[in-house]
């Protein structure tokens, strides 16, 4: 039987989708289907910058850190100087093996076993690669999102209540883990591409993806706790930054600015709003308060997948694609720095820190676009320290 020619599968094909003549070699190696293009010019048109490489990154699980004797053993990855009135910069400490256990009766996402996000691999031909719009949730799916987001807020509030000088971030991880399984949910970060813990804890100059360890929080620190739960097949995601005891005025300004950036962006959300316009509101607020907006990370779609379309950049003059429509769920989570917006990564390949050692703060909510506006699914009570 003659082979059937596969037409070009690029959503941005400049040649009218003729028969394909090449396949992305990395996709082929990773087992990702649907990356066929009619030529090099088409491949480049479909893959501006690092867009197509994101598919490869998502599909590749990272090495589990608890099995690596060279990571998180107290080595300083780079030399940074902290402000004179602040605690010393954070450095990796010792992780507490083994990975925490989730009871067998709790349903878990497909990556829980080996860190590979199989749902993403199956979805790539019809979503990320092909440029399909974000998923529109049914009323039943929206109710599942409401429920898991409500539970995620409860867990974050429980963890936040435990913040004090002397507690370790690993103890906070244990609190989040237990509170999550008590609610019949799975802690989404656990083994997501090999992440070894149930929550992200980012202290001082750590921007995001900090790994809980045995470092004790100190008076004057700030800490971001990023909680995500998985229940009934859906993820709910939120984070907040908190003071540890009494903090300096710059840290207060930073946290208030980050919260205001998020709140003002949420006010723009409604059917017909453009995702790219959120950064036009966020960045001027940050700049007016002497801060900068991290460009490397963005908000994201969330539903039965932890991370999916749309991408939601937080800086001005971005080129995000898409219009908000009823039934879409996504996060907004601006990361705001006291210094430069750029970052570097620790050797664990997760922890992102400010390039100049100055502090960073972040706030995140999961949002649902409704027929008339937006519903903040992870909403909590206003914090007095941010007023």
**Nearest-angstrom CA–CA distance, 317 and 270:** 20
What average pLDDT does this structure show over 265-275?
A: 98
> Of residues 247 and 51, which shows the higher confidence score?
247
pLDDT score at 17:
61
d(C-alpha 181, C-alpha 177), whole Å: 6
**What would the mean pLDDT of 128-140 be, rounded to a whole number?**
77
Report, in angstroms and rounded to the nearest whole number, the Rg of the chain calculated over CA atoms: 21
Residue 67 has pLDDT above 90, yes or no: no
Report whether 109 contacts 306 (CB < 8 A).
Answer: yes
Across 263-284, b (16+ Cβ under 10 Å) vs e yields bebbebbebebebbbbbebbbe
pLDDT band per the 50, 70, 90 thresholds, residue 99: confident
Bridge partners (DSSP) listed for residue 196: none
pLDDT of residue 80: 35
- Tell whether 300 is in a known binding site: yes
> At 43, which helix (H) or strand (E)?
helix 40-46
User: Residues 6 or more apart from 112 whose CB is under 8 A from it?
Assistant: 102, 186, 190, 191
pTM of the model: 0.80
DSSP class per residue in 214-266: SPBP-TT-EEEEEEEEEETTEEEEEEEEEESSS--HHHHHHHHHHHHHHHHHH
Which tokens sit at 236? 């709910």
219 is in an annotated binding site: no
Closest listed residue to residue 193, CA positions, set 90, 116, 288: 116
Report DSSP letters for 100-141, one per residue. PP--TTS---TTTTTS--HHHHHHGGGTTTTTPPPPPPPHHH
Instruction: Give the mean model confidence (pLDDT) for residues 83-111.
Output: 75
Angle at 269 between CA 278 and CA 160, to 5 degrees: 85
pLDDT at residue 39 in the model: 72
Q: Predicted confidence band at 19 (pLDDT cuts at 50, 70, 90)?
A: low
pLDDT above 90: residue 71 = no
Q: What is the pLDDT of residues 273-295, one digit of tens each?
A: 999 999 999 999 999 999 999 99
CA–CA–CA angle 126, 128, 134 (5° rounding): 85
- pLDDT at residue 37, as a whole number: 66
What pLDDT is stored for residue 73 in this prediction?
32
**Is residue 74 over pLDDT 50?**
no
Which pLDDT score, from 0 to 100, does residue 176 have?
Answer: 98
DSSP 3-state of 374 = strand
Please report which confidence band the pLDDT of residue 385 belongs to, taking 50, 70 and 90 as the band edges.
very high
CB burial string 49-77: b at 16+ within 10 A, e below:
eeebeebbebbebeebbbebeebbeeeee
φ, ψ of residue 356 to 5 degrees: the values are -110, 5
Q: What is the pLDDT of residue 322?
A: 94
Furthest C-alpha separation in the chain: 75
Instruction: State the average pLDDT over residues 112-138.
Output: 70
List of domains in the chain:
77-102+134-386 (3.90.230.10)
Q: Which residue has the tokens 């210094």?
A: 339
Judged by DSSP in three states, 83 sits in coil
Q: Evaluate if residue 353 carries a pLDDT over 90.
A: yes
Per-residue pLDDT band for 15 (boundaries 50, 70, 90) equals confident
What is the rounded average pLDDT for all residues in the chain? 84
β partners of residue 345: 352
Q: Say if residue 364 carries a ligand binding annotation.
A: yes
Region of residue 246 (phi > 0: left; psi between -120 and 50: alpha; otherwise: beta)? beta
């Amino acid at each position: 039987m003659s082979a059937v020619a596969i037409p070009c599968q690029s959503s941005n094909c400049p040649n009218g989708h003729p028969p394909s003549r090449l396949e992305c070699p990395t996709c082929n190696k990773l087992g990702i289907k649907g990356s066929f293009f009619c030529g090099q010019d088409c491949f480049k048109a479909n893959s501006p910058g690092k867009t197509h490489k994101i598919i490869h990154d998502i599909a590749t699980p990272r090495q589990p850190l608890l099995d690596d004797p060279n990571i998180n053993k107290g080595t300083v990855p780079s030399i940074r100087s902290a402000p004179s009135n602040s605690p010393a910069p954070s450095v990796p400490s010792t992780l507490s093996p083994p990975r925490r256990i989730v009871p067998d009766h709790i349903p878990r996402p497909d990556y829980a076993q080996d860190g590979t996000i199989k749902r993403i691999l199956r979805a790539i031909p019809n979503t990320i690669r092909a440029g399909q719009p974000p998923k529109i949730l049914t009323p039943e799916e929206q109710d599942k999102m409401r429920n898991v987001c409500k539970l995620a807020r409860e867990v974050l509030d429980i963890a936040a209540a435990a913040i004090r000088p002397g507690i370790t971030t690993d103890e906070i991880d244990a609190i989040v883990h237990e509170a999550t399984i008590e609610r019949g949910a799975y802690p989404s970060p656990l083994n997501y591409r090999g992440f070894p813990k149930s929550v992200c804890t980012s202290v001082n100059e750590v921007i995001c993806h900090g790994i809980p360890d045995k470092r004790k929080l100190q008076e004057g620190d700030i800490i971001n706790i990023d909680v995500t739960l998985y229940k009934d097949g859906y993820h709910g995601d939120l984070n907040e930054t908190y003071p540890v005891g009494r903090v300096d005025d710059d840290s207060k300004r930073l946290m208030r600015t980050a919260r205001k950036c998020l709140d003002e962006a949420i006010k723009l959300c409604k059917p017909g709003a453009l995702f790219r316009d959120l950064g036009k509101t966020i960045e001027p607020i940050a700049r007016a308060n002497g801060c900068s907006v991290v460009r490397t990370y963005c908000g994201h779609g969330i539903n039965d997948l932890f991370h999916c379309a749309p991408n939601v950049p937080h800086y001005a003059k971005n080129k995000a694609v898409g219009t908000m429509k009823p039934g879409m769920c996504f996060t907004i989570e601006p990361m705001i720095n006291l210094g430069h917006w750029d970052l570097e990564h620790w050797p664990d390949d997760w922890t992102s820190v400010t390039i100049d050692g100055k502090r960073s703060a972040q706030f995140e909510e999961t949002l649902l676009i409704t027929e008339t506006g937006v519903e903040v699914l992870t909403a909590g009570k206003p914090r007095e320290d941010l007023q």
